[in-house]
A and B are shown apart, each in its own frame.
Chain A
């Protein structure tokens, strides 16, 4: 793991995610933009009415992968702080399953970093969603993470000068 960014907030939680608090806490006085993504539970899936969801994770690996995303975001975008918080357990309709917030001096970097973080999380972090319907439950179709050759090729670190 490379240098830690101590102001980042990378968490798995079984409690309701405090979106507003997280968005407020990523902001510092040098920031001019906060971009956030709120992934929330939808009441339908593939034409069926969803009752609720359950999420589970390979927790130690998921946290490691979420930290890697944060490190990559710092290396690749001109941002200040990043928060990535994912909920586990049972979630009701409308509740937040994942919340990402990024602060930056300027909006473009904040938007780009936030988009990169959620897209990469959905492809690489070992978390699974089970959808519960009136007539049964199914594990959601997911994405197959990239093979190690791709997954283990870290982006070149820019010289820190």
Chain B
């Protein structure tokens, strides 16, 4: 199954794209998806401890299991205002 992955802020610059479709196994967790996405971009891993994940536009725990078609955002610390 596939999920949509979104990158923002400095993560977008490191990832080299804002959005990608990623094939994951059934029941894959967000943590595993992040490991998959960062396997080819080790630089991303440095930011893991400061990231928050969102699933379908809601903050989500890293052990959240994914469903086909989910939209997952990896969000650096927010700095609006």
Contacts and interface: CB of A to CB of B under 8 A. Distances in A.
Interface string B57-77: 111110000000000010111
A127 B75 CA distance: 9
Contacts of A126: 8, 54, 73, 75, 78, 80
A60 interface: yes
A151 interface: yes
A82 interface: no
B10 interface: yes
A154 B9 CA distance: 28
Interface residues of A, number: 36
Contacts of B77: 141-144
A125 B61 contact: no
Given A56-B8, A139-B9, A139-B10, A128 B76 contact: yes
Interface of B: 6, 8-10, 50, 52, 54, 57-61, 73, 75-81
